[in-house]
Structure 1
């Protein structure tokens, strides 16, 4: 019989190595290694989240800076137009015909600024109605025109190639048949 101080071991099978005193500790070592690996993965995950948050903040700041620079470029492009309008108003009392020519020149300058920003002006008549470029504000019966063509421009459109600032407001011809 065993004394109360020796641990009981199961009977040994033939060819089996005797149990070592370290075997009961292996599950603890494995659990500790898994806990360390889990801690490392959690640390890497937290760092990745922090990096992502920093990237978002940096991107938001850069986007706001880019927007500000673009607003400044656009406003700077309009300053000469504003200057010329003020000059025309200052000479309004002197010679009305020269003021009219000045205002026309300022309009042409404004159209050029829009073209330079990527929004050329279009105001052609006699072309087929295109719902992506035109907005109908009226319909007329015009026996001399093709049906469903632009007969009159109320307000010109600006833009091209899918970048449209505003469609042209048009009157479309319809033939009564």
Structure 2
């Protein structure tokens, strides 16, 4: 082969790939990989996860009671109510008897003092009177302790809840208002709504 042919063949052969064709700069150091994109604020985006309610999954609802269980509950409630009614019917007479005994025992001292006063019937009449007054005061105190205080006040306005008018009188003092209690014929015991009896009184009439 002639020298011209060898030169032509050598000129038609492509040159070997150099570093420039692979993007490597002279010196042999490859470029660094591009970093992942970061959103504004500097915090990389985390992969999304499925949301879970706080405290774990919600508990399953309790099964509703069946008809047999409801019937059993109903029968038990009826049995409890019947037992309560029987117990109340059994205890009620005992409670009433205990209350009667308590009230009767409160009057025993009054009876004792009456008998003591009768045993001194031949003594000084003034002593007998003082003894009877003491027994009366003791009886009033017993009623007050049972919740029925005595009311025998005069000079107070007429109260239909406490008083019962048995007579009407003229006022001895012109300044006394009409309807004022001027005399107590029979004392009353108790309070409005809870009294043994109202006080029987005489009140002043209207002038005219």
Q: What's the TM-score, normalizing by structure 1?
A: 0.72
Query: Do the aligned residues in 2 keep the contact of 1:123 with 1:153 (CA within 8 Å)?
Result: yes
Contact kept? 1:142, 1:175, Cα under 8 Å: no
Q: CA deviation at 1:118?
A: 1.6
Q: Considering Cα pairs closer than 8 Å and 6+ residues apart, tell me whether 1 or 2 has the greater RCO.
A: 1
- CA deviation profile, 1:96-115 (whole Å, cap 9, x unmatched): 22111111000000011111
C-alpha distance in 2, partners of 1:155/1:57?
A: 45
> Alignment partner of 1:130: what SS?
coil
Find the counterpart in structure 2 of residue 89 from structure 1: 118
Pairing of 1:66-145 with structure 2 (within 5 A): 66-142=95-171, 144=173, 145=176
State the SS of the aligned residue for 1:58: helix
- Deviation above 3 Å: which 4+ runs of structure 1? 37-44
Q: Encode CA deviations 1:114-162: one digit per residue, 9 max, x unaligned.
A: 1111211111111000000111111122252320111110111112364
Residue of structure 2 in register with 1:48 after alignment = 77
Q: Deviations for 1:72-109, whole angstroms, at most 9, x for unmatched residues?
A: 11111100001111111122123322111111000000
Distance 2:110 2:67 in 1: 65
2:188 corresponds, among 157, 162, 177, to 157
The worse-fitting range, judged by mean Cα deviation, of 83-92 and 61-70 is 61-70
The answer to whether the Cα contact below 8 Å between 1:143 and 1:175 also exists between their aligned partners in 2 is no
Richer in helix (by share): 1
Greater Rg over alpha carbons, structure = 2
- Secondary structure of 1:176's counterpart equals coil
Q: CA-atom RMSD, angstroms?
A: 2.0
* Aligned counterpart, 2:59: none
TM-score between the two structures when normalised by the length of structure 2: 0.62
Aligned length: 142
Q: Distance in 2 between matches of 1:135 and 1:53?
A: 47
1:171 counterpart residue number: 202
Unaligned stretches of 5+ in structure 1? 1-36
CA distance in 1, matches of 2:169, 2:85: 54
